[in-house]
């Protein structure tokens, strides 16, 4: 036994403790250590029962995901996996699994091979494998329905969300909840079952239901997976595997699961989702910011501007338990902001996301005010006023006057120059961009914008704070539109050109929806409000290169007052339930405008639509990488998945380009360059990587802090 596994005794009870920080991942070495410990305890007659427990903060959070890449790349052979170990545990003396923290994936599968499970009240249990594009691969789809029933097993394996210890007790996954000392409680439980015949999960069939009762369950689960996890293979594979458990003997069910597991593991979707899993952790690492940097306290906050974004941001702080002042210029604006907050919370309670008690406590943390009186006490301020340089610099001038030294002054601007905003203060080192995405209380992404003078403490503090706020913080450099919106501009540009060239709006949207985007670009415009983009285009018109083609139809539509959902019509008409209805009037208007502008009309394929819109993202992403505005390609991927509805199972635009093959992407971009001119000039980095036979995933940049 090595440091990973410790075998100790409490009289006739053997205790196996796993020590593989940070999450006791079930690596091959850990599995081997457990096997040896079980063997040793099995061969020792004085041992009457065994307790298995995780050392540190958790039980086992799953198989070691880092091993998968080694298997799919052929670097290590595809071994027998965990199945033999789990059978050995099930056939040994009574084993009590003592669960605290997380029992996820292979960790729960190991726990279910045990004869009994006891848990701390705050334990979480789940099969999250589908979120990695795989399915449980160690008989989880076979043992779980035998313990919790078919319906619950389907939900847990196909959706991948954990359940609480209390729910696990109710469904029979856990035999007892332990208050206080978990190990002591588990040993006491083991003492109670020692020497008695131990129930083997694989032999239990009482909860597997009947064909008649199960068939509608599987049909409903498939429909739900196709709707909620659109385009993903793993949820459907998980459903197939659980179905096999209800129709086949255990061993054969495991074979079906094994085949489906391998099919998923070697798929591009799984590689993409594992890229996203580690990517969400990697974006938190900023090369030039030392780990030991001082993190500034953020125990109180303030938001300036109670509009849609300001109200949502105030909810984010309150939801994290941080008291927040919410300031606006006049009472009616403040009342409107508070009313929206209350409406949003009410719908969260209705949808079961929050309890009324939680909401009542949170609302108490949001304090509406009309002046800057108490701003001297707050640790951080987020400005969320109208998107114009003048109102923002005016607010920052005020904040510089009223806020205490060391307070973080953040702007929620989505496009404006952070250095120019900072120049309105005497403390640019405390000024930073914190670009939330609408609705701020829902969207996970937080684009953190580093100005040329932004201090490392402020950056490190905001990166860490983003986790506390339930966000994925990604650090980006300061340029027009930062990373997300700067790329999105090119994506939308191409969608507008395609409409002008003859593709109808819903056809363009359908092509990108079928590709996997949460919503097409035109419907997204209608949702956000077409006037927002129109105002920004007008603000930057002077920067447009003469003679370079610019979309015309977007502006023409806005000139007619068609701003989208907010005006009942944009690219689509909207009914009273805000359902989008294709509008022949728009198609006709666009045709006229395009012909007036001399734009030839032609049939456009959905493949061309996808390539032009997605490769426009990739090409601009490559420019952003070479400028150091993004540190890594994965940072761009995480931004697009969490802020722009790019499908996670494709890994993000840069990973997707690597999957398609940069050579192929580059060739198409060169085709478009020849066809449409300089807007499609290939990014030098892309050309360079193709020449070197490299991928975006290999690119690592130093942050672009413009001197
Ligand atoms: N394998 C390898 N590394 C892991 C890991 C795992 N399963 N889980 C976490 N880590 C690393 C992570 O990369 C980070 O590293 C550090 O641990 C802390 O994690 C056979 C095949 C458990 C809820 O999908 O969801 O079992 O960045 O920052 O926020 O059927 O980690 O510090 O270098 O996320 O407190 C199924 C994955 C695997 C769970 C903790 N299990 N993990 O969250 O910490 S597949 C999962 C999580 C499987 C079987 C199949 C979360 C967490 P670093 P963290 P956290």
pLDDT of residue 99 exceeding 50, the answer is yes
The model's confidence at residue 17, banded by pLDDT at 50, 70 and 90, is: very high
The model's confidence at residue 417, banded by pLDDT at 50, 70 and 90, is: very high
The verdict on whether 170 is a catalytic residue reads: no
The verdict on whether 129 is a catalytic residue reads: yes
pLDDT average, residue stretch 58-68 = 96
pLDDT average, residue stretch 87-99 = 97
Structure tokens belonging to residue 674: 């020849």
Instruction: Using only the alpha carbons of the chain, give its radius of gyration.
Output: 28
The model's confidence at residue 2, banded by pLDDT at 50, 70 and 90, is: low
Lowest mean pLDDT among 74-78, 154-158, 358-362, 672-676: 74-78
Structure tokens belonging to residue 213: 């009762």
> Does residue 385's CB lie within 6 angstroms of at least one atom of ligand 1?
no
Q: Which conformational region is residue 218 in: left (phi greater than 0), alpha (psi within -120 to 50 degrees), or beta?
A: alpha
The model's confidence at residue 617, banded by pLDDT at 50, 70 and 90, is: very high
Nearest CA to ligand 1 atom 55: 23
pLDDT average, residue stretch 228-233 = 97
What one-character-per-residue DSSP string does 343-393 give? HHHHHHHHTTSS-HHHHHHHHHHEEEESSSGGGGG-SEEEE---SSHHHHH
* 8 A C-beta contact, residue 18 and residue 97: no
pLDDT average, residue stretch 410-436 = 97
pLDDT of residue 1 exceeding 90, the answer is no
Q: Out of 12, 45, 67, 129, which one is annotated catalytic?
A: 129
Structure tokens belonging to residue 339: 């009313």
Other C-beta atoms lying within 10 Å of the C-beta of residue 584: 10
- Cα–Cα distance, 549 to 707 (Å, whole number): 33
Task: Looking at the CA of residue 467, tell me the nearest atom of ligand 1.
Answer: 29
* Cβ-based neighbours of 298, under 8 Å, separated by 6 or more: 322, 379, 380, 408, 461, 465, 468
Q: Out of 12, 67, 109, 387, which one is annotated catalytic?
A: 109
Cα torsion for 625, 627, 628, 630, to the nearest 10°? -40
The proportion of the chain whose per-residue pLDDT surpasses 70, expressed as a percent, equals 99
The model's confidence at residue 703, banded by pLDDT at 50, 70 and 90, is: low
- Report how far ligand 1's centroid is from the alpha carbon of 265 (Å): 17
- Cα–Cα distance, 119 to 169 (Å, whole number): 9
pLDDT in tens, 123-160: 999 999 999 999 999 999 999 999 999 999 999 999 99
pLDDT average, residue stretch 676-684 = 97
More confident residue, 176 or 577: 176
pLDDT average, residue stretch 670-683 = 97
The model's confidence at residue 704, banded by pLDDT at 50, 70 and 90, is: low
pLDDT of residue 267 exceeding 50, the answer is yes
pLDDT average, residue stretch 23-52 = 97
The model's confidence at residue 540, banded by pLDDT at 50, 70 and 90, is: confident
pLDDT of residue 701 exceeding 70, the answer is no
pLDDT average, residue stretch 676-697 = 97
62, 83, 86: residue to mutate for ligand 1 pocket, most atoms within 8 A of CB:
62
Q: Strand 13-18's sheet: what is its strand order?
A: 5-10, 13-18, 49-54, 95-99, 116-120, 176-178
Lowest mean pLDDT among 81-85, 174-178, 204-208, 609-613: 81-85
Q: Which residues pair with 234 in a beta bridge?
A: none
Average pLDDT, the chain: 96
* Cβ-based neighbours of 706, under 8 Å, separated by 6 or more: 419, 452, 477, 478
* 8 A C-beta contact, residue 509 and residue 515: no
- Report how far ligand 1's centroid is from the alpha carbon of 564 (Å): 41
Q: Say which DSSP state 545 is in.
A: P
Asked if the peptide bond before residue 439 counts as cis, ω within 30 degrees of 0, the response is yes
pLDDT in tens, 466-495: 999 999 999 999 999 999 999 999 999 999
pLDDT of residue 377 exceeding 80, the answer is yes
């Amino acid at each position: 036994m090595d440091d990973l596994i410790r075998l100790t005794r409490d009289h006739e009870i053997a205790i196996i403790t796993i020590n593989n920080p940070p999450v006791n991942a079930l690596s091959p070495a850990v599995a081997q250590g457990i096997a040896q410990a079980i063997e040793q305890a099995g061969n020792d007659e004085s041992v009457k029962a065994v307790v298995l427990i995780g050392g540190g903060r958790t039980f086992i959070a799953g198989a070691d995901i880092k091993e998968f890449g080694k298997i799919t790349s052929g670097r290590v052979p595809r071994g027998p996996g965990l199945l033999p170990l789990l059978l050995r545990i099930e056939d040994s003396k009574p084993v009590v699994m003592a669960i605290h923290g997380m029992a996820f994936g292979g960790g729960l599968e190991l726990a279910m091979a045990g004869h009994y499970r006891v848990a701390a009240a705050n334990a979480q249990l789940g099969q999250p494998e589908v979120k990695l594009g795989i399915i449980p691969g160690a008989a989880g789809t076979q043992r779980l329905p035998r313990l919790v029933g078919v319906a619950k097993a389907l939900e847990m394996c196909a959706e991948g969300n954990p359940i609480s210890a209390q729910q696990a007790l109710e469904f029979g996954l856990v035999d007892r909840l332990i208050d206080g000392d978990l190990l002591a409680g588990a040993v006491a439980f083991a003492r109670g079952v020692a020497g008695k015949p131990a129930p083997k999960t694989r032999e239990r069939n009482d909860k597997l239901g009947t064909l008649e009762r199960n068939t509608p369950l599987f049909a409903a689960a498939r429909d739900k997976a196709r709707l909620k996890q659109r385009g993903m293979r793993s949820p459907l594979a998980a459903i197939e595997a659980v179905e096999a458990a209800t129709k086949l003997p255990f061993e054969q069910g495991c074979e079906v699961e094994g085949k489906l597991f391998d099919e998923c593991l070697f798929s591009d979707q799984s590689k993409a989702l594992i890229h996203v899993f580690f990517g969400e952790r990697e974006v938190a690492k900023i090369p030039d910011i030392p780990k030991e940097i001082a993190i500034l306290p953020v125990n109180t906050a303030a938001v300036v501007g109670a509009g849609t974004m300001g109200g949502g941001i105030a909810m984010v702080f309150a939801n994290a338990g941080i008291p927040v002042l919410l300031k606006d210029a006049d009472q009616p604006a403040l009342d409107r902001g508070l009313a929206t907050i209350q409406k949003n919370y009410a719908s969260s309670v209705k949808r079961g996301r929050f309890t009324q008690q939680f909401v009542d406590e949170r609302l108490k943390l949001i304090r509406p005010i009309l002046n800057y009186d108490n701003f001297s006490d707050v640790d951080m301020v987020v400005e969320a006023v109208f998107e114009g340089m003048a109102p923002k610099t005016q607010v920052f001038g005020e904040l510089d006057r009223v806020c205490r030294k060391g307070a973080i002054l953040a702007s929620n601007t989505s496009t404006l120059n952070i250095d120019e905003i900072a120049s309105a203060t005497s403390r640019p080192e405390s000024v930073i961009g914190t670009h939330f995405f609408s609705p701020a209380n829902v969207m996970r992404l937080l684009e953190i914008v580093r100005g040329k003078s932004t201090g490392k403490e402020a950056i490190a503090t905001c990166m860490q704070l983003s986790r506390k706020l339930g966000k994925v913080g990604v650090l980006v450099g300061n340029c027009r539109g930062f990373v997300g919106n700067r790329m999105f501009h090119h994506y939308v540009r191409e969608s507008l050109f395609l409409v002008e060239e003859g593709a109808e709006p819903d056809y363009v949207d359908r092509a990108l929806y079928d590709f996997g985007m949460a919503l097409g670009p035109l419907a997204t415009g209608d949702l956000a409000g077409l006037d927002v983009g129109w105002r920004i285009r007008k603000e930057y018109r002077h920067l447009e290169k003469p003679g370079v083609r610019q979309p015309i139809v977007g502006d023409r539509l806005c000139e007619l007052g068609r701003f989208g959902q907010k005006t009942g019509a944009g690219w689509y008409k909207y009914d009273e339930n805000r359902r989008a209805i294709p509008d022949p009037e728009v198609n006709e208007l666009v045709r006229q405008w395009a012909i007036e502008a001399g734009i030839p009309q032609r049939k456009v394929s959905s493949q061309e639509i996808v390539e032009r819109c997605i490769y426009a993202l990739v090409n601009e992403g490559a420019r952003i990488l070479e400028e150091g505005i993004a540190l890594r390609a994965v940072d761009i991927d995480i931004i697009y998945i969490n802020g722009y509805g790019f499908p996670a199972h494709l890994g993000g635009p840069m990973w997707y380009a690597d999957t398609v093959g940069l050579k192929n992407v580059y060739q198409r971009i060169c085709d478009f360059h020849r066809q449409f001119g300089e807007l499609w000039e290939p990014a030098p980095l892309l050309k360079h990587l193709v020449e070197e036979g490299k991928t975006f995933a290999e690119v690592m940049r130093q942050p672009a802090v413009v001197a």
